[in-house]
Amino acid sequence: MRVPMTEYLLIDLDTERWICRVCAHDFGDARGNYKEGTLVYDRDPQEIHPPVIDPEKYEFTFSPDPTFCRILEFYCPSCGTQIEAEYLPPGHPPTVDMLWDIDSLREKWVAHGGNPEEVVNYGPGENAEADLSARFDSVAPHAHSRQNEGH
């Protein structure tokens, strides 16, 4: 049983591994930090957020100051998908952003009885169509929306 935990990460409850939803790359122990299985790049934020006013003339330009702010880009080593982009001061340890209780997760899904890849959704609303099945599977994609409409 695989549970979509983010847009690009599944937890395989059978193997207890973090898995790339795009290409099935194994990021490591689901009880640990998925980032340990990623490739990381220290991005100068000015490459992402270009200045609107002339940096030759002005200190403040719409572009972050690279001495204050870096963007850590976390990539899947196999397919190159950008899984996370974290804004941090230079030299600050990357945040361990998610740690899950796998036993409890398994209990909840066993009690639920459904296939997480089919029932996990983006929330209410008729436009909130979600297909969170593993993209690396050959099964035909399916789309579904939240059952409790109206918000």
**Residue 93 touches other proteins, criterion: CB under 8 A:** yes
In whole angstroms, what is the distance from residue 34 CA to residue 9 CA?
9
Among 18, 19, 20, 37, binds other proteins (CB under 8 A): 37
**Residue 1 touches other proteins, criterion: CB under 8 A:** no
Residue 138: CB minimum distance to other proteins, A:
20
Residue 44: CB minimum distance to other proteins, A:
12
Interface positions, 56-85, toward other proteins (CB under 8 A): 57-65, 67-69, 71-75, 77-85
Name the helix (H) or strand (E) containing 12: strand 9-12
**Residue 120 touches other proteins, criterion: CB under 8 A:** yes
**Residue 26 touches other proteins, criterion: CB under 8 A:** no
Whether 25 and 74 have beta carbons less than 8 Å apart is answered as no
**Residue 124 touches other proteins, criterion: CB under 8 A:** yes
Cα 4-70-21 angle, rounded to 5 deg: 15
Identify the sign of the CA torsion 32, 77, 131, 151: positive
